[in-house]
């Protein structure tokens, strides 16, 4: 893998300074955190890619699809200005990604694009 093609991943930061995806990752155990990090890194080096690692959800929102043990994790992101912005993350409990999760990622992306956060 060549670092010349790697797109940087940045954590969405709320107006209050919180980084929801970073906080979510830190709450996981080390093995799960490492596995999800490897999936994100894979996307950084291989972007643009599709299934099974990545799926397009709606508009500019994509998901990194990770298996951690017998669970399925998702990190929702967008690529803007040659950066992978990590917007929202969760353990999937249903077959479909809930519209509310996609809406939240979309709202965070709009905040980021409008310069309301960094």
Cβ(109)–Cβ(80) below 8 Å: yes
Assign domain 3-113 to its CATH architecture: 2-Layer Sandwich (3.30)
Considering the entire predicted model, what is its pTM? 0.91
pLDDT tens string for the chain (118 positions)?
A: 444 579 999 999 998 899 999 999 999 999 999 999 999 999 999 999 989 899 999 999 999 999 998 999 999 999 998 999 999 999 998 888 999 999 999 999 999 998 865 4
57-75 pLDDT, tens digit per residue, is 999 999 999 999 899 999 9
Residue with tokens 């797109």: 7
Residue 95: per-residue pLDDT: 82
Cβ(17)–Cβ(58) below 8 Å: no
Q: Sign of the CA dihedral 95, 107, 54, 10?
A: negative
């Amino acid at each position: 893998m060549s670092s010349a093609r790697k797109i940087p991943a940045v954590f969405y930061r709320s107006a209050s300074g919180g980084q929801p995806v970073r906080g979510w990752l830190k709450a996981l155990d080390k093995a799960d955190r490492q596995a999800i990090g490897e999936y994100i890194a894979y996307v950084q080096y291989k972007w643009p890619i599709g299934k099974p690692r990545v799926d397009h959800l709606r508009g500019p929102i994509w998901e990194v699809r990770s298996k951690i043990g017998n669970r399925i994790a998702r990190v929702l992101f967008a690529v803007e200005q040659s950066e992978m912005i990590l917007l929202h993350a969760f353990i999937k409990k249903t077959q479909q990604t809930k519209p509310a999760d996609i809406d939240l990622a979309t709202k965070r992306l709009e905040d980021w694009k409008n310069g309301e956060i960094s």
